[in-house]
Structures are given as C-alpha cells and as structure tokens.
Amino acid sequence: MGEARAKVLDHELGIRTVGDLLAHYPFRYIDRTRYYMIGEIRETSDLSYVQFRARITGISVAGEGRKQRFTAYAQDATGAAELVWFQGVKWIEKKVEVGREYIVFGRPSFYRGELQMAHPELETVEQALSRKSESGMQGIYPMTEKLANVLSVKAMYKVVCDAWKLADGHIPDPLPDSLIQQYHLISLRDALHNIHFPQSQALLLAAQNRLKFDELLGVQLNIQQHRTDRMSKSNGFLFPKVGDAFNTFYNEKLPFPLTGAQKRVIKEIRQDTVTGYQMNRLLQGDVGSGKTMVALMSMLLAVDNGFQATMMAPTEILARQHFANFRRMLEGMNVKCAILTGSSKAKERHEALEGIASGEIDILIGTHALIEERVKFQNLGFVVIDEQHRFGVEQRARLWTKNAQPPHILVMTATPIPRTLAMTLYGDLDVSVIDELPPGRRPIRTVRYTDAARLRLFGFMRQEIKKGRQVYVVYPLIKESETMDYKDLTDGYESISRDFPLPEYVTTICHGKMKPQDKEESMRQFKSGEADIMVATSVIEVGVDVPNATVMVIESAERFGLSQLHQLRGRVGRGGEQSYCILMSGEKLSRESRARLDAMCQTNDGFQLAELDLKLRGAGDINGTQQSGEAFDLKIANPTLDQEILSATREAAIAILEQDPHLMLPEHRGLEYLKRKHSGREEIDFSRIS
C-alpha cells in the first residue's frame, strides 16, 4: 500500500507488518451475496450495511467549493434512494453515468422516511461480476475516524486480501499437533483464513474458537507458571498464634454471634496463613453479608503474630466509617488503629506515617493514599482490599510492593465474579464465599414508581420517619462529572435540600465534591439520627452502614447500572426492620432499562442479578474485563463470555507445564511464544496482583 496510508495505519492502529494486519480481526461480517431491493430496506430493519442494484436516474450538484454536495438519484423496481457525497465531488461526478446500473454498497440512513446513503461504494454490474472474492462474507474491520478518512471499508478489505496472499504458505502453527487434536482445533492458517474470509458459518466459528484458544492459553501459561513459582517459594508470613487480640475480641467485644459462613471464611484464612505460602484470597459476599467483621478478625490474627495490617477502602466515607467502627469495637484493647486518606490533615497524617513506620500502630485504615510512596510499614503482614473493583490492577500491584516479603492479601467484593474470570483478572487466587446473611434480615421490598406516584412516595416517607426510621434519597446527577463544574453542583444540591418537600424533617446532603469535613459532618448527622433524610449521590453506594435507615429512594433509577442499584439497595435492610427500595423512573424506558428495574423488583440475590447483568450488557463491559483484555493483549477472547475455552486452556496449561515446566521442549517453542505474547503489561507482575 502507499506510504501515506501505511503511516496512518501504523499511527492509528499500530499495524506495521503483514502479521499485524492479519491479527486485526473483523468485528462483524456482511453477506456480499445478498442483494436487497430498495423497498426492503426500512428504517426499522436495523441493517448496518446493505447492497442493492439500482439505476442512476439523475444527479445534482449543490453548494460551492468545500461545501459542495453531489447527489445521485438511484431507483429500482421497488423504490428510490439518494446517494450523497460531500467529498471527492469532482471524482464521483466523473465516475457516475446517468442511466447506468450499479451495485451500491453502504450504510443506510433515512431522511423523512427516504433511504439515503452517504459515500456509498459504487461498482458497475460488470465489475461486480468479474470480482473474484475470497468469501461471500466480507469482514468489516475496526477503524478509527482518521483511518476511515483514508481507507474505505472496501479498501481496507482489499489491503487484507493482499496481505493474505503474501502470508499464505508461511504461517507456522504455535500449537503442537497433539494439542490441536485433543481440543479439536483447526490450524492457525485455517483460522486466519476463515476469520478474514469465512468459507462458511461453521468455519468462522471454528476460526474464532481457535484464535481465542491461543490467546487464553497464552494467559493461562503465565498464570499457571506463576502459581507454580509461588507454591515453590515458601515465603509467606506465618501466623501460628491465636492470641490476646483475637481471643479478647471474640470473647468480650464481638457485638453479635458470627454467622456460619463468617466462621468458615475466618477458618479458611487461618489455614492459609499457617502454610508458609503467601495467601491470595478473594472473598465474595453479597452486600450486607458481614465481610467487614471477617476483615477485622483476620487483621487481629496478624496483630497477634506481631504483624501490622492494613485495610484499603474505595472511598473516604467508607474508610472513615471503618475506622470509627474499628476504634469503637476495639476500645479498651491493646490494638492501635490509625487512618490515612488523601484529605488527612497534617496531624492525622503525621501520626499515621510515624506510627506505621515505628511499628506503634497495628492497623492502618485508608484510601488510595495508602499506596503513596511515603507510606512505609514496619512489618506489614496482612492487606485487606475492600470492594476491590474500584481499584485498578496497577494500584493493587503497588500496594504489594511495600514489603520485601509479600503480605497475605484478602480482596473483598460484593460483585460476584465467576471463578475462572477472577483467576484471569487477578492472577491465581483462592475464592471464599459468604453465602449467608446475618440472621433476622428481612428481604427488602422493591417497587418501581413513576412521577405520578410522587405524592404517595412522600406520604410513605413521612410514615416511615414517624416510626423513627431514616431515609436515603439518591440522585444520579453528579457522577464525578468533569463537564459539570463545582458551582452547578452545589447549587443543584442546595436547591434539592431547600425545596425538598418534607420541610418538617431534617435533611442532610452528601456528594463527592463536598469538602471531606463537610461530608463527614453530614454522615455523622445521619448516623447519629439527627437527620432523618440523607440526600446523596452514589458516593454512598459502597459500604455505608446505618442500620436504622429503612427506605432507599433512587431517583432516575434507569440511569444506574444493575450492580450499582443493587449496591445502593444494600444500604437499607441492615437492621431487623422491614426495609424498602423505591425506584423512581420516567414513563418511557428502553427495553434494557425496564429489564434492569424489573429484575431489581423480582430478586434480592446479588449473584442472580450479576448473571442477568452479564446477559443484558453482553461482552466487554463487566468490571475489569476491559482492563484484562488490554493488559493481556486479548484481541478476540473475552474471559467473561468465553468461559468454556478459558477452562479448557487452564486445564491444558496445567498439563503442559507439568510435563515441561519451563517450556524447553522443541515442540513447545510456539507455546513459549504465546506465553510471552500474553504475559500482561510489563509493569504488572501478576503473581503480585492481590
């Protein structure tokens, strides 16, 4: 191809070689054997590309200079269409012959019900007939806007065709034959051929399958090798003792009996910490299942064995809440806690940093601030990461490097992640599940209201507040938005609190852009019961715990994601009282929004909701998936959706490494290549990621 286009291709997509180009897979295919009639192409047919055969009945040129616009009128037996060009007018003017028949290919759009196409591709019928195509299905390639300016869909396809001709016959297969046979795969050559030029639907599937297999096998070879490494190094801290801190707490301070699930998880953690290996554990438990207590008691185990522990929370509010709770629960015990957040004042910061370095402080609670360079622990033995999905992979890796010897790591989340996916996202880790809520919880009743029911809503809120309960009202409007500036934001909030139509009650406000001390004061008012109503944004989504709150009103609920709604709902139903979640939404909803809200009304089960979420949103959008795709250079595999292939590659990787731990055998050279290719970004050593 020409140098100018090659440059753009490199710049926009990093494609330099024939190999790069062939590794740039189509994201969809169109059937070039199918010709539509114009009358068949409707606004509602939802077609992204179509082709039809039509005669040009006339042309017109409008505008001047750069604003010129060329229109060709096309017609077949069933209808008419307008083909429009805004660029290259001179060139197209020469090319189009009135009265002649063309094959028109492009993206349909509609103007007042009339079919229009901007910049379609035109071929004479003779040209189309003489075109020898590789396949009836033509790949549509991911492009950037800049690239699309210099390469049309057709030109891109042609470049790939040329590349294929050069490459065919020179494509070695990285997988040994035995593996190809065992997993019924097609060869890499056939896979590449069919991903670009599908010879049939079945071969296209087989091609996708094979290419995904290679990517996920590469990732799994890395993970499994790291796991073997970790298990061959006995460098985990030992917590052999259950001592004063744990026992005193358990016998004298524990405010309630632990649930069976909490006990089981604490036991699992105890067992992990006496093996001599570093613990890497993911704790999944629905909102309100009592993960915090497990964290605290595990940290006490570390303290009993002479180590420091730290707990990292995703928000300031949550960190402060944990700190206050821990301090209260540990009162009178010889365990020192401190807090460090981004907005810690000099004194607090100084105390935390000094105490942590000298070893005087046993437990440090904090936010992201914990991973700053300046934070030096004397002997960090145990790390808890709360609601992990808020942290990036790299941040977790940085927390780890605070020690020469790796601390035990407990990652806690209310968002259920399938086990195999968790392994891809977080390296090799063990999974614990709290599958039991504390006793006496009543299922939250969830209903959906529209604005028409607002008066009823206020009446209901009054009624609950009169009973002595408290109410959350959550608005979506301020989502750490850069486009909305600070003033708009506070104004918006002031007006909400001023106009909030229950003037007889004390309303307090909390949102992400408030000063930390104001936020804290507002939380305090609500927690202490001074305020009846908390008007907030989703800053309260994670972890906030006020058992007396029984009503969660979510405004514009259709604008929240399913897991967010579930998290928000989890703020109520924490005491013994019947709690309610009221989803306020507009009348008109998209099908997906409706499905989300209906699901919320039907179930309280976070695992079920997560599954549904996966179905509704499909690929790519689940927490961390995107991230893992980029980090491990996955082009076609999606660990969320390709679970079966993921399990197969995991099994294959384990078997291969058992036979050849360092991939030294000649027939494993290709595997070594796959492993290197999907080893994750350099800065991430993922034996170290949580």
3-class DSSP string for 606-645:
HHHHHHHHHHHHCCCCCCCHHHHHHHCCCCCCCCCCCHHH
Contact between 288 and Mg ion per CB under 5 A: no
Contact between 574 and ligand ADP per CB under 6 A: yes
List for the chain the helix, strand, coil content (%; round to 5): 45, 20, 35
Site for Mg ion in 508-547 (CB under 5 A): 543
Contact between 110 and ligand ADP per CB under 6 A: no
The two tokens of residue 517 are 């001390």
Q: Give Cα 127 to chain centroid, integer Å.
A: 46
Among 210, 291, 398, 678, binds ligand ADP (CB under 6 A): 291
The residues facing 384 across adjacent strands are 311, 410
The count of chain residues that interact with ligand ADP, using the rule CB under 6 A, is: 18
**Closer CB to Mg ion, residue 180 or residue 324?**
324
Contact between 680 and ligand ADP per CB under 6 A: no
Backbone angles phi, psi at 630, to 5 degrees: -70, -45
- Among ligand ADP, Mg ion, none, residue 256 binds (CB under 5-8 Å by kind): ligand ADP
- Among ligand ADP, Mg ion, none, residue 135 binds (CB under 5-8 Å by kind): none
The count of chain residues that interact with Mg ion, using the rule CB under 5 A, is: 1
Task: Report the length, in residues, of the chain.
Answer: 690
**Closer CB to ligand ADP, residue 294 or residue 380?**
294
For the CB of residue 555, give the shortest distance to ligand ADP in the complex, in Å: 23
Contact between 543 and ligand ADP per CB under 6 A: yes
For residue 368, give the DSSP letter.
G
359 vs 306: CA distance, rounded Å: 10
**Closer CB to ligand ADP, residue 210 or residue 527?**
527
User: Strand, coil or helix: what is 591?
Assistant: helix
Q: Give Cα 349 to chain centroid, integer Å.
A: 33
Helix axes 188-196, 153-167, angle to 10 degrees: 160
- The 501-540 site mask, x for binding ligand ADP (CB under 6 A), equals ----------------------------------------
Among 138, 222, 284, 289, binds ligand ADP (CB under 6 A): 289
For 213, other C-beta atoms within 10 Å of its C-beta total 25
Contact between 563 and ligand ADP per CB under 6 A: no
For the CB of residue 236, give the shortest distance to ligand ADP in the complex, in Å: 26
- Among ligand ADP, Mg ion, none, residue 258 binds (CB under 5-8 Å by kind): ligand ADP
Amino acid in the structure at residue 22: L
User: Strand, coil or helix: what is 159?
Assistant: helix
Among 292, 305, 388, 522, binds ligand ADP (CB under 6 A): 292
For the CB of residue 258, give the shortest distance to ligand ADP in the complex, in Å: 5
- Find out whether 212 and 645 touch, Cβ atoms under 8 Å: yes
Contact between 176 and ligand ADP per CB under 6 A: no
For the CB of residue 545, give the shortest distance to Mg ion in the complex, in Å: 8
- Among ligand ADP, Mg ion, none, residue 290 binds (CB under 5-8 Å by kind): ligand ADP
Written as one string, the DSSP assignment of 286-337 is -TTS-HHHHHHHHHHHHHHTT-EEEEE-SSHHHHHHHHHHHHHHTTTSS--E
Site for ligand ADP in 430-489 (CB under 6 A): 438
Stretch that binds ligand ADP, among 95-103, 137-145, 258-266, 636-644 (CB under 6 A): 258-266
**Closer CB to ligand ADP, residue 120 or residue 285?**
285
Contact between 390 and ligand ADP per CB under 6 A: no
Taking CB positions, which residue lies at the least distance from ligand ADP? 290
Longest CA–CA separation in the chain, Å: 95
Q: N- to C-terminal Cα distance for the chain?
A: 46
Contact between 545 and ligand ADP per CB under 6 A: yes
Report the sign of the C-alpha dihedral through residues 255, 256, 257, 259, in that order.
Answer: negative
For the CB of residue 543, give the shortest distance to Mg ion in the complex, in Å: 4
Among 54, 188, 293, 461, binds ligand ADP (CB under 6 A): 293
Planar angle of CA 256, 259, 262, nearest 5 degrees: 110
Stretch that binds ligand ADP, among 18-26, 257-265, 517-525, 580-588 (CB under 6 A): 257-265
Q: Give Cα 125 to chain centroid, integer Å.
A: 47
Stretch that binds ligand ADP, among 174-182, 223-231, 282-290, 664-672 (CB under 6 A): 282-290
Taking CB positions, which residue lies at the least distance from Mg ion? 543
519 vs 512: CA distance, rounded Å: 8
User: Strand, coil or helix: what is 182?
Assistant: helix
Site for ligand ADP in 397-436 (CB under 6 A): 414
For 85, other C-beta atoms within 10 Å of its C-beta total 20
For the CB of residue 438, give the shortest distance to ligand ADP in the complex, in Å: 3
**Closer CB to ligand ADP, residue 83 or residue 311?**
311
For the CB of residue 362, give the shortest distance to ligand ADP in the complex, in Å: 20
List own/partner pairs for 639-644 with CB under 8 A and 24 or more apart: 639/216, 639/420, 639/421, 639/424, 639/425, 640/418, 640/421, 640/614, 642/212, 642/216, 643/418, 643/420, 643/421
For 627, other C-beta atoms within 10 Å of its C-beta total 13
| Nearest to 341, CA basis, from 370, 361, 362, 380 | 370
**Closer CB to ligand ADP, residue 122 or residue 296?**
296
Backbone angles phi, psi at 391, to 5 degrees: -105, 140
Among 60, 256, 379, 626, binds ligand ADP (CB under 6 A): 256
Stretch that binds ligand ADP, among 104-112, 214-222, 281-289, 460-468 (CB under 6 A): 281-289
**Binding residues for Mg ion, per CB under 5 A?**
543
Interacting residue ranges for ligand ADP, rule: CB under 6 A: 256, 258-259, 262, 285, 287-293, 414, 438, 543, 545, 547, 574
